[in-house]
Structure 1
Amino acid sequence: MAGKEATVYILDLGRSMGEKRHGRDQTDLDWALEYVWDKITTTVSRRSFGDLVASGRKTALMSVIGCRTDETDLAGNMEEGEGYENIKVFSNLKQYLLGDIRMLQDQLKPSKTDSGDLLSALAVAVYMIGNATQGAKGNPLKYDRRVIIVTDGRGQMDTSDLAEMAAKIKDPAAPFEIVLLGLDFDDEDVGYKEEGKNAEKARNEAILKSFINDCDGNFGTLATAVDQLHTPRLKETRPVQSYRGSLTLGDASKYEATITIDVERYPCTMISKPPTASTFAVRTDPGASGQSSATVVGEDQPMPDLAAVHNQRVYQVDNLDEPGLKNPVELDELERGYEYGRTAVHISESDMNVVKLETQQSLELVGFVKMEEFERYLPIGRSNFIVPQKANTQAQLALSSFIHALYEADCYAIARLVAKDLKPPVLLLLVPRIELEWEALVDVELPFEEDMRRYKFPPLDRKLTVSGKTITEHRDLPTDKLLDAMSDYVNAMDLSTFGRDEEGNPEEYAKPEDTFSPLVHRIGHVIKWRATHPDPTLPIPDPPEILMKYSAPPAELLAASEKQMKRLMEAADVKKVPPKVKGRGKRQRGDRDKPLSGLDVDALLGNPKRVKIETNNLIPSFKQALAASDDMEAIQEAVDDVAKEIRNLISNSVGDNAYGRALEAIRVMREELIELEEPDIYNPFIKQLKEDILGGKLNGNRRDMWWKIKGSKYGLVDLNRCHTSAVTEDEARRFYEI
């Protein structure tokens, strides 16, 4: 579990922050808010807008203070008086929710004044954090105290109490971390110097830099901070042990000559998954009972007209007395079944008690294997660290001896693990890991016999005939020339030395520590951006460059290996496949169905140009009708005949027994007309069919058929599906609404 945090953002809102400088297309305040919004949304509660790629902790307290504001409001922090004018506390320290972000968006605007002391705002922030992070007896609690200042350095400052304030910030009992981000401040580390700077700003920069150094704080420019925003920040979590007990060699209950080491097991790697969306329903009756909308996003910031969706599971079995009907049953009345491959195996509770292993928590060594004899494809699951128990010197010495013994013998150990009593046992492979400052056993799970999947494949370097003859030269087998060309191409695309370090020396390209999951971080990036830009008309920004950097091979490497690529294409006899004919080109039967011999088989057999749609052979006859003619009238006639048969199937269906045939006919019609690029023939049909179904014109209530059409997404064909369609994506989406 991560520690507690208390962070206050001091944001300069003076009149000068509303100007655009140095060719930027946004004001200084908008530029500064890019950083502030990113930091706030990164630590905002998951309860506000989903399981965000962020800390999402209730112990992460935040507040925002405005300096050089039109109003003065300290929100009860210190007494308002001389020196604290034009300072506004937008909220006291608390866990921020989505509603707080919405509130800040409306209030963080440039003011109409240049009055206001930045250092006085810092004093308010220090006082606020001190009060919020002290215990009942006045003793400071264990918190990470942080103040982040964003300013352009163009206001007036009172520097009379800088020494006392620095001493308060560096107090060992409750130290503060101070971060200052300056807009267009000079920075020797990045080689930036603002030209034409006025004397007042230069003086303020010098004062602030000196003060930050005295506080042992961090100084940087806003430009550097904004550039680093797109680099994903890894979430640090406190590992939770999955086993705490003894690692034993031998049965300690029967023999004295056994080895017992007290160890703990922690996860080494974990899979990071993207956040999942939550499901909400539009509230039809605001006064209805049940979970209120306030509980969806936080009690203090309710989201109106939304309610959480509750799931209810119902179990049913077939009614043997009345076929077609089902009887509801309770969960307690059901028996358990288990999958063995694709077979369902029923085991009653009495049998389960017999076959269930009565295991006890343990980690027992059962064997050893030579390092070179172990197959690397066998491990399954994620890896874990096995380390000695904390503050146990004897266990540390014993486990270290065991790790070094395995390392020197080039061996791995195999152990049987029962994580908790009555848990099923698993087999682990224990691998010694020795670093400069720590030692551990890395374990991975091994498969049982039932977990193994053995498949047989034909050899890649020869072919075996039915008579048993071995063929080494065949069109499906690679030649020596092809193998050499492929080997040269692989060597030319080597990434192990393509990268360059800071000194220009070759190094690995796309190292694991430099790559990030595009799925996880892109979704988190979009969620945070939409939280601060709720307008649905605003387009989602492009993915950060760092997420897409390794999505394609580097252009320089492709250019350098072009020669090897051409050799490979020649050796493999690669030929370009002609593009598939679409749309009206498909109806040109002379081009579409012309055989290699040049003979028109249909003409020789006297096949008709129009095929009659047969009720008992609906789909094949429809496809034949489309293939037989290029005439639009014939195609329209075939579609009308199929549409008539679909309506007959729905109207004459007993229950839903014919809905499946009708749905399949709709699917084929839709796909064929899309391939013909004639969505204007299909769209009127499906519109009329929806109207007839919902209007009860097909022999009664046939709404179940509409739900099948909607569930299969067989609605209107939009522009994304076929470029000749006149239906937009929004129109196609609204079509499914009733």
Structure 2
Amino acid sequence: MAATKEAIAIILDVGPSMNQAPPGTITSLESAIEGINMILQRKIFAESKDEVALILFGTPDTDNPLDDGESYQNITLKRPLGIADFDLLRTVQSELQPSDTPGDFLDAIVVALDHLEKGLQGKKGFGSRRLILFTDLGAAFGDQELDTIVAAMSNTKTELNVIGPNLDDEDGEGDGGSGSGGGGGGAGPSTRKEKTSQQKSGEALVKHMLDQVNGECYSFSEALPALSYFQSRQIKPMAWKCNLEIGQMEIPINGYSKVKDFKLKQSWKKVYAQDTSITPRTLPTYHMTNEEETEVDREDMVEGYKYGNTIVPMSEDDKDNMKYKAEKCLKVLGFTKAENFKRYHTLGDGVISVTAEKGDEAAAVALSALINALYETNSVAIARRVYDARSSPRLGALFPHIKAKYECLFWVELPFAEDVRTFTFGSLPLTEDVAINKKYKPTDEQLSCMDDLINTMDLSQALDCSFEVKLFCLQHRALHPDDPLPDLSPIIANYLRPPEAVTSNSAPVVERLSKLFKLEVTDKGKLEETGENMFKSSHSFYREDEDGLQAKKPKLDNNLDGGLQSMMKAEVTEVGTVTPIEDFKSLLGRTDRDMFEEGCKQMQKRIQQVVVDSFGQQFYGKAMDCLKALRQTCIDKSGPNNYNEFIKTFKDTLIASGRRDFWDLIVKEQQSLISKPECEASGVTKQEADEFTTGEVKVESSEQPQDEESADDLLDQL
């Protein structure tokens, strides 16, 4: 097993110096608690296997394995080594209280080292240890065992991180709570206070320790913004071993993921809220589409695919025999100039770095020759890649990449011909050759201004805080399920604002832009000279009376709302699938009562057809619009029975045909039976209409792939 896990001991000072701050400002203890909260949040939502322990010093009581009644006093092992979870997060947020008893941070380090050593016995996969000390160094300490502590940390390769003091401050002033960076959760403005002599002595000792063990020290103003940014779980890269085939030549290579799109596993989305001790499981059952909904065993079923109206069965053996067989490979198909590769052709979720097999000198020489040849000829190699025998072939390009200390090929996936989507857009009138809309041709000054705007508002180096916002909300809901979501912390909210550099640099360009592009207010009341208006005005009838000639509108005006298009439109005889609502309204425009009955039947038929033929939920929106139009029309036309009888049978049809999700949508949109308060002609009471959908709630399908639901959908449910 690869040693990729880390054991972390968080040491927190809860003594009196950590709880001192001017009124209206946050204390160092509050800043430290927020920092610990951010560390735990990282571990929890990245589903890290690292283990964390929490040790407090400066507590009124003593509870640690090294306590002998005289040494290592006022130190509490609050949480032993284990995987970070919401219980630990809840402990940090609600159970850590300030104390009036000072503690020795060196003794706390000894307790932490001892706990890591004992806690890791018998555990495998841990490659590193780390101590994170949160303190302002305001309490007294004894340095008699300093050399022993440094030696123990060096021998066990334990890293030391100290968060709190500002060791680079030359004017003798401390960081003061959250520091000048505005961290600490926004409890109040930060302040800088003068360091005490005790703090200066502690900082001198900490500097000595950090030099000996190659540790790091951060002030609160430096640490909190860095910790607030989500960090994915670190994974040791594993080589993809294969042979690079070029004709008859084969070069042993290793492929490593250079860049890969990170996606949360989101296994925490499956929960059973009624009993958190029960592990959620999926228990799918299968039923026939008959009235009894007869249950069928999974072994008695076979997959089938529609071919017209015929269902063609497809067994597992049939699928295995028809499946395309491919072997693991990376084969060069040919070469082309680099300019033939377009940036918008790239596919996939990452880039792979291809290097020669480690220790194979012949492979290194051969691959180096290929890399340099591609570089010198400004070319790329087009290759076929198959990850393993179970994977489909991929098409990609191999780019040469040469640095002072190494060289390699970068693999980027390319689309097949059927994957390319070609969109043609009209050209802007930028040249004299374009005869259309010449008056809208931008000047050189306008084009230059737009170039400057794009350059000054470049956000390519900005942080992506999408994870932070989601995880902030999820964490609050997990710890406070009945409370509304709070405002974002100032640190995370700051990520949502434009960077100050972008705002200041773009301000002059925006002002210049407003002068170069004049905006004019148009008169909406002015009649547009459209062809329809000109047609109507030039085809009016005239009559002569006592006052002379006066215009008289033709009787056809009532049917010319759409101009020539309406006159040429064919008469609607049935509700189609392209514009069903418009067709339905056209049929109802006739005075014939039988046409209302016929229109409702056709609309009902179209609704069922759209839902049944929908691929997943693709056309559910269109079907719901039709259903709403049918319901409202039945209310307006005093024909509620046309809708009520349909919706009753439609419900049974949906459940029997496996379209329960559309019925859930009907319940959500409140398209139940038409009750008497809505339409006097209805025989359904309000209570009966409510009982028709009582207890109908949305149930997520147990067979739906997990990654079909995004984190944004989960936030909408919060």
TM category, shorter = 0.5 to 0.7
Q: Partner residue of 1:642?
A: 635
The residue type equivalent to 2:495 in the other structure is I
Structure 1: how far apart are the matches of 2:372 and 2:312? Answer: 46
Q: Distance in 2 between matches of 1:211 and 1:227?
A: 25
Which of 348, 366, 369 is equivalent to 1:398?
366
- Does residue 510 in structure 1 map to residue 507 in structure 2? no
> Equivalent of 1:696, from 661, 665, 688?
688
For residue 158 of structure 2, the aligned residue among 165, 172, 176 is 176
| Map of 1:33 onto structure 2 | 33
Calculate percent identity across the aligned residue pairs.
23
- Distance in 2, matches of 1:142 and 1:234, equals 18
Letter in 2 for 1:481: K
Greater CA drift, 529-538 or 417-426? 529-538
TM-score, structure 2 as length reference: 0.67
Shift of 1:651: 4.3
Quote the Cα distance in structure 2 between the aligned partners of 1:552 and 1:473: 41
- Measured on the aligned residues, the alpha-carbon RMSD in Å equals 5.2
- Count of residue pairs brought into register by the alignment: 584
Contact 2:383 2:395 in 1 (8 A): yes
Cross-structure match for 1:370: 337
Question: Are 1:57 and 2:48 an aligned pair?
Answer: yes
SS of the equivalent of 1:145 reads strand
- Report the equivalent of 1:228: 226
Change (3 A) 1:187 1:269: same
In 1, the alpha carbon distance for the partners of 2:397 and 2:497 equals 36
| Equivalent-residue separation in structure 2 for 1:523 and 1:12 (angstroms) | 30
Q: Describe how 1:703-718 pairs up with structure 2 within 5 A.
A: 703=693
Residues 348, 604 of structure 1: CA spacing in aligned structure 2 closer, same or farther, 3 A cutoff?
A: closer
Question: Are the counterparts in 2 of residues 273 and 520 from structure 1 also a CA contact under 8 Å?
Answer: no
Give the 5 Å matches for 1:330-369. 330=298, 333-337=301-305, 356-369=323-336
Q: Deviations over 1:452-503 (max 9, x none)?
A: 44556666669xxxxxxxx9544xx4546336465233223141xx49xxxx
Q: 1:468 matched to which residue of 2? A: none
Q: Name the SS for the 2:442 alignment partner.
A: helix
Equivalents in 1 of 2:3, 2:210: separation in Å? 27
Aligned equivalent of 2:98, options 100, 103, 110: 110
Give 3-state SS (helix, strand or coil) of 1:93's partner: strand
Shift of residue 109, structure 1, vs aligned partner: 0.2
| 1:622-649 CA-partner distances (Å, limit 9, x unpaired) | xxxxxxxxxxxxxxxx999937837434
Letter in 2 for 1:155: A
Match of 1:249? 246
Once the two structures are superposed, the pairs formed by residues 421-460 of structure 1 within 5 Å of their partners are: 421=389, 423-454=391-422
Alpha-carbon distance in structure 2 between the residues aligned to 1:691 and 1:270: 61
Contact 1:170–1:215, Cα closer than 8 Å, also in 2: yes
Distance in 2, matches of 1:37 and 1:709, equals 34
Q: C-alpha distance in 1, partners of 2:270/2:122?
A: 40
Aligned counterpart in structure 2 of residue 66 of structure 1, from 56, 64, 78: 56
Q: Secondary structure at the match of 1:540?
A: coil
Give the counterpart letter for 2:513 in structure 1: Q
Task: Tell me how far 1:359 sits from its aligned partner.
Answer: 3.1
Counterpart-to-counterpart distance in 2, 1:344 and 1:566: 66
Counterpart among 145, 148, 151 of residue 132 in structure 2: 148
* Inter-partner Cα distance in structure 2 for 1:456 and 1:11: 61
Equivalent residue for 2:347, pick from 367, 380, 400: 380
- What residue in structure 2 maps to residue 310 of structure 1? 282
Query: How far 1:220 moved relative to its partner?
Result: 2.8
| Matched AA of 1:181 | I
Q: Tell me which of 115, 118, 133 is aligned to 1:131.
A: 118
Give the alignment partner of residue 563 of structure 1, picking from 488, 512, 517. 512
1:24/1:534 CA distance change after superposition, 3 Å:
farther
Asked if 2 retains the 8 angstrom alpha-carbon contact of 1:38 and 1:528, the reply is: no
Distance in 2, matches of 1:122 and 1:312, equals 52
Structure 1 CA distance for aligned equivalents of residues 502 and 78 of structure 2 = 48
Task: Confirm or deny: 8 A CA contact 1:653 1:659 kept in the other structure.
Answer: no
Cα-to-partner distance string for 1:499-537 (whole Å, 9 max, x where unaligned):
9xxxxxxxxx434xx323332332133334555666614
1:237 and 2:227 aligned: no
Partner AA of 1:360 in structure 2: E
Q: Indicate which of 474, 481, 493 corresponds to 1:527.
A: 474
Query: How far apart are residue 68 of structure 1 and its match?
Result: 1.4
Alpha-carbon distance in structure 2 between the residues aligned to 1:449 and 1:208: 62
- Find the residue that maps to 1:267 and give its secondary structure: strand
**1:101: Cα distance to partner?**
2.4
Deviation at residue 90 of structure 1 after TM alignment? 0.8
Residue from 451, 458, 483 that aligns with 1:491 = 451
Q: Does 1:482 align with 2:483?
A: no
Residue pairs, 1:86-101, within 5 angstroms:
86-101=74-89
Query: What whole-Å deviation, never above 9, does each CA across 1:548-588 have from its counterpart, x for those lacking one?
Result: 43699635414324333443346xxx656969xxxxxxxxx
The answer to whether the Cα contact below 8 Å between 2:52 and 2:81 also exists between their aligned partners in 1 is yes
Work out the CA distance in 2 between the residues paired with 1:562 and 1:547.
Answer: 23
Tell me how far apart the structure 2 counterparts of residues 483 and 272 of structure 1 sit (CA, whole Å): 43
| Distance in 2 separating the partners of 1:367 and 1:482 | 43
User: Secondary structure of the residue that 2:147 maps to in structure 1?
Assistant: helix
State the distance in 1 between where 2:207 and 2:676 align: 71
Q: Is the contact made by 2:28 and 2:164 (CA closer than 8 Å) also made in structure 1?
A: no
Distance in 1, matches of 2:359 and 2:424, equals 52
Q: Which runs of 5+ in 1 are unaligned?
A: 45-51, 251-257, 287-292, 297-307, 463-470, 500-508, 580-594, 622-637, 672-681, 712-732
Partner of 1:159: 143
CA distance in 2, matches of 1:451, 1:189: 63
Q: Equivalents in 1 of 2:444, 2:32: separation in Å?
A: 56
**Where is the helix percentage greater, Structure 1 or Structure 2?**
2
Cα distance in 2, alignment partners of residues 205 and 691 from structure 1 = 83
Tell me the equivalent position of 1:13.
14
Would the aligned equivalents of 1:148 and 1:179 in 2 still touch at CA under 8 Å?
Answer: yes
Q: CA deviation at 1:410?
A: 1.9
